[in-house]
Amino acid sequence: MASTNQLIIPMVWFDNQAEEAARFYTSVFPNSQSGRITRYVKEGQEIHGREEGSVMTIDFELEGQRFSFLNGGPIFMINPSISFFATFRSESETDTIWNALLEGGMALMVYGPYPWSPKYGWVQDKFGISWQIAWAGEDESGNQSILTSLLFVGEHCGQAESAMDFYTSIFKNSKVEEVLHYGANEAPEKEGTVKYAQFSLNGQTFMAMDSALQHNFAFNEAVSLMVYCENQEEIDYYWDKLSEGGDPKAQVCGWLKDKFGVSWQVVPSIMDDMLQDGNTEKVERVTKAFMKMKKFDVEELKRAFNGEQVI
């Protein structure tokens, strides 16, 4: 799969539908590519409960946006707190993609004209993933057609702006690009909270919104943001910064939860190659090593992979 130099990749947690879902999305979106697959080994089976040789993760691209899907069991449920905003140039293509995603799913906002788009809709598809689909109309601006969107609700409503400031302070080449606030006459939304915002992290664009409406969901591990790191220095940096004020109980196998409730994975880029190695014994050793870790230790993973004594 061609690299898009994407530092941050959304990972979606499924029970056992990761392969099926990846096939579906790459068939729906016209510009798509399949990528790497990692498989479960016997090591750790008492924890993950997955059949040896079954798919653990599958990577792919849609419209240049990389995704990773994980078969992790029925632990976390996908919800609309993190959605994907997809914009298309062609009206007919937008209609086709909306209809495909709606089949078996449900519309959270009906598809039609809105002030921000001649055609827009918000759908939760048959796999539980939420998509905001928009026709760009005559607007030819912008290069990234799928953006990850964060919705701050419940106890985190009103924190979208603070979260953007926090994230842009951590990642290089980052900035808050645009913020539109709710006004005094937009109740039940709270005046001054974020109606719509865009921000970039390492040149990669994201969206953020607050909502004071009653929602029966919140950020969870079902959709996490995976940060690929080239060395231990980067792992230490992102781990320490993103976990500041977060939930220490949610730290396991490279996962952490930040102070806004958003889940992140801070992972070494070499681990993909390790887990794809044809030598099952190497993969078993690496799996055994990383399943004991909270923050990843690159040198310890290398020692495990090479069969050296692990400290």
Return the CATH number at 118: 3.30.720.110
End-to-end CA distance of the chain: 35
pLDDT at residue 2, as a whole number: 35
Same domain, 154 and 269: no
**Domain-embedded: residue 275:** yes
> Which element (helix H / strand E) includes 35?
strand 32-39
- Choose one of 161, 176, 210: the last residue of a domain: 210
Measured at the CA of 58, the angle between CA 149 and CA 277, to 5 degrees, comes to 135
Same domain, 169 and 136: yes
Can you tell me the distance from the alpha carbon of 178 to that of 185, in angstroms, rounded to the nearest whole number? Answer: 21
DSSP tag of 283: H
Please say whether the beta carbons of 282 and 274 come within 8 A: yes
**Domain-embedded: residue 154:** yes
Residue ranges in the chain whose pLDDT is less than 70:
1-5, 138-144, 309-311
Same domain, 87 and 199: yes
Please say whether the beta carbons of 62 and 25 come within 8 A: yes
Same domain, 206 and 94: yes
* Measured CA distances, 116 to 120, 139, 196, 207, 294 (Å): 8, 11, 11, 14, 42
Residue with tokens 């310890």: 300
Q: Which of 23, 30, 5, 19 has its CA nearest to residue 56?
A: 19
**Domain-embedded: residue 311:** no
> Which element (helix H / strand E) includes 160?
helix 160-170
- As a dihedral over the C-alpha atoms of residue 30, residue 31, residue 36, residue 40, rounded to 10 degrees, the angle is -30
- Choose one of 178, 210, 242: the last residue of a domain: 210
Same domain, 117 and 172: yes
Q: Which of 53, 57, 65 has its CA nearest to residue 26?
A: 65
**Domain-embedded: residue 6:** no
**Domain-embedded: residue 2:** no
pLDDT at residue 309, as a whole number: 66
Model pTM score = 0.93
Beta carbons within 10 angstroms of residue 111's beta carbon: 19
Can you tell me the distance from the alpha carbon of 221 to that of 263, in angstroms, rounded to the nearest whole number? Answer: 6
Same domain, 166 and 199: yes
DSSP tag of 185: T
**Domain-embedded: residue 218:** no
pLDDT at residue 18, as a whole number: 96
pLDDT at residue 308, as a whole number: 85
Beta carbons within 10 angstroms of residue 95's beta carbon: 15
The boundaries of the domain holding residue 44 are 13-73+225-306
**Overall domain count for the chain:** 2
pLDDT at residue 47, as a whole number: 73
Residue type, 38: T
Same domain, 125 and 182: yes
Q: Tell me, what CATH number does 37's domain have?
A: 3.10.180.10
